[in-house]
Amino acid sequence: MARPFVGGAYSGRAWLVALFLVFAIVLGGGGSPNPTTELLLEVIFAISAAVWLWLPRGTASDSQIDPLVIMLVAVPLVIPVVQLIPLPPGVWSALPARQDQADALALVGSQGSWRPISLSPARTFASLLAIVPAVACTYAVARLDLHERRLVLATIVLMVLATCVLGALQLVAGARGLNLYSQFHVGWVTGFQANRNATADILLIGLLALIPLAAPYLDGTRQPLPLSFDRRAFSFLVGALGLIIAVALVMTGSRAGIALLVIPIGAALFAVTLSGKRSGLRRHLWLYIAAVAAAALFAVYLLAFSQHTALGRVAFRFWSDGAERGDVWQDAWFALKQYWPFGFGLGGFESAILAFERLEAVNPALPNRAHNEYLEIGLEAGLLGYAMVAAAAAVSIALAWRAWRSAPGMRRQILFGAGVLIIISLHSVVDYPLRSMALACLCGVAGGMLARKRAQPQQSNPSRRDEVTKGLG
């Protein structure tokens, strides 16, 4: 029996994950300048975690969890936990760039106190609290079956469309309002985020989610289409949605986001190659690819010809030299070397960089981020940070490779997960996407999508097992 597009026999835990993602996307985009919504999201997560534990666990096989998933969940938590462990005075005072702290404590008679690696333990603890919901998303999605993961993908697409609608209203309203945060980018599509670059990543993730969500209804497998669409009309709908999301992405003004449109286009092309020779997916998914490519060409048009229009501001950003960002990188690199190899402490970039900011680079705006996640990780977490990044990448690749080989039915979902992680990794070279709780949670969802769902017990319903094995994308 074919599965419905949205709805049907979803478990309570699947609905819980979908509902939490709604809250994460709406409330998790303010970043450190807007801590109130992040605190509210953490409270909602605590309630969701309690509900998750209260809901039925299902079969015995459902209680099993892949050790690689446990590793992927644990790796991001290692950094703040290690940095918060109190150390004896003879140890912490010997760490690089700790002499000022030792001298200050000596003035108040506390030179013998135990101190952690982090020079800003309160911010490091806040970072730990912000990481937990993201890694919990990895664990939760890994526990869902392939059909239930489609509910998660549908939720992402719906929230991305809501972002497009809100973004259009924001452009109409200008600087008058319709933004959720006290600090935000004015005059651009930001949706539920404060930062236009984070919004671009959200929209890119929505484009990726649309591929495994729609592909099963276009590949000739006679899946019943939603809302009585015929297959041709449904393919036009998918193309139209792709075009709307891609145009909204262009209107964020994010240079890296526009450049990264090649990732969902490439993922769609690769999804076409996964279908059989008789599949209708090749014909129908080209509409989606053409629509997203048209938005990319629209961006090229802005660069080449638009000079005096409102859209020309997008083009102008590509011609700017980015000198301020280069200044921050130079100062961050110098500060990184002072605290190497142990780091300043997760979440402490602003405090760490101020002492090393060059006078010629000082401006009224505080350098609250390095605009390069890899530099910021090195400054805040040192060698341990880079080791954990490498470990997370290795585990993600191992999960994806094993699932790709053993579970062909989930390959489109693996494309989504891998695509999200690639986008975040590339955008991190010039920005800080993981500092948004919304994007961190979506990154956690992507990690969970790479996990192979364990087989159901032999006594379970064979038709359901066959259906999961064949996969719905």
CB 76 within 8 A of CB 134: yes
CB 155 within 8 A of CB 202: no
pLDDT of residue 36: 86
* pLDDT band at residue 389 under the 50/70/90 scheme: very high
* pLDDT band at residue 11 under the 50/70/90 scheme: confident
* pLDDT band at residue 29 under the 50/70/90 scheme: confident
Cβ-Cβ contacts under 8 Å for 304 (sequence gap 6 or more): none
- pTM exceeds 0.75: yes
pLDDT (average), residues 164-186 = 76
pLDDT tops 50 at residue 2: no
pLDDT of residue 285: 64
Q: How far apart are CA 105 and CA 27, in angstroms?
A: 39
pLDDT of residue 308: 47
CB 352 within 8 A of CB 339: yes
pLDDT of residue 472: 42
DSSP per-residue letters across 217-266: GTSSS-PPPGGG--HHHHHHHHHHHHHHHHHHHHTTT-HHHHHTTHHHHH
Q: pLDDT of 246-262, one tens digit each?
A: 888 988 888 888 889 88
pLDDT of residue 326: 76
pLDDT (average), residues 280-293 = 66
Q: pLDDT of 177-205, one tens digit each?
A: 677 777 666 667 888 988 889 999 999 99
* pLDDT band at residue 461 under the 50/70/90 scheme: very low
Q: Select from 124, 257, 152 the least CA-distant residue to 209.
A: 152
Residue with structure tokens 């002072």?
338
| Cα atoms in the 13 Å half-sphere on the side-chain side of 59 | 12
Q: Select from 194, 193, 197, 195 the least CA-distant residue to 163.
A: 193
- For the chain, what is the mean pLDDT? 81
Domain locations in the chain? Answer: 12-318+408-453
Q: How far apart are CA 148 and CA 223, in angstroms?
A: 17
CB 232 within 8 A of CB 458: no
Query: Is 15 exposed, middle or buried, given 0-12, 13-18 or 19+ CB atoms closer than 10 A?
Result: middle
Query: What is the DSSP secondary structure assignment for residue 9, as one 8-state letter?
Result: S
Query: What is the DSSP secondary structure assignment for residue 56, as one 8-state letter?
Result: -
pLDDT of residue 466: 42
Q: pLDDT of 223-238, one tens digit each?
A: 555 555 566 777 778 8
Q: pLDDT of 14-24, one tens digit each?
A: 999 999 999 99
Q: Select from 313, 327, 266, 265 the least CA-distant residue to 291.
A: 265
Which amino acid makes up residue 325?
A: R
Q: pLDDT of 348-359, one tens digit each?
A: 888 888 877 766
- Residue 448, both tokens: 């969970």
Residue with structure tokens 């989504």?
416
pLDDT tops 80 at residue 92: yes
Q: pLDDT of 438-447, one tens digit each?
A: 999 999 999 9
- Residue 216, both tokens: 């099963």
Q: How far apart are CA 219 and CA 70, in angstroms?
A: 34
Q: How far apart are CA 369 and CA 351, in angstroms?
A: 11
CB atoms within 10 A of CB 403: 23
* pLDDT band at residue 469 under the 50/70/90 scheme: very low
Query: What is the DSSP secondary structure assignment for residue 192, as one 8-state letter?
Result: T
pLDDT of residue 247: 86
pLDDT of residue 368: 75
pLDDT of residue 324: 66
pLDDT of residue 7: 45
pLDDT of residue 363: 64
pLDDT of residue 4: 46
Helix (H, G, I), strand (E, B) or coil at 74: helix
pLDDT tops 90 at residue 128: yes
Q: Any idea of the CA torsion for 244, 3, 407, 289, to the nearest 10 degrees? A: -20
pLDDT of residue 458: 40
pLDDT of residue 106: 84
pLDDT of residue 463: 43
Q: How far apart are CA 180 and CA 170, in angstroms?
A: 11
Q: How far apart are CA 178 and CA 293, in angstroms?
A: 30
DSSP per-residue letters across 254-321: -HHHHHTTHHHHHHHHHHHHHS-TT-THHHHHHHHHHHHHHHHHHHHHHHHH-SSSTTHHHHHHHHS-
Peptide bond preceding 364 in cis form (omega within 30 of 0)? no
Q: How far is C-alpha 325 from the geometric centre of its chain's CA atoms? A: 22
pLDDT tops 70 at residue 126: yes
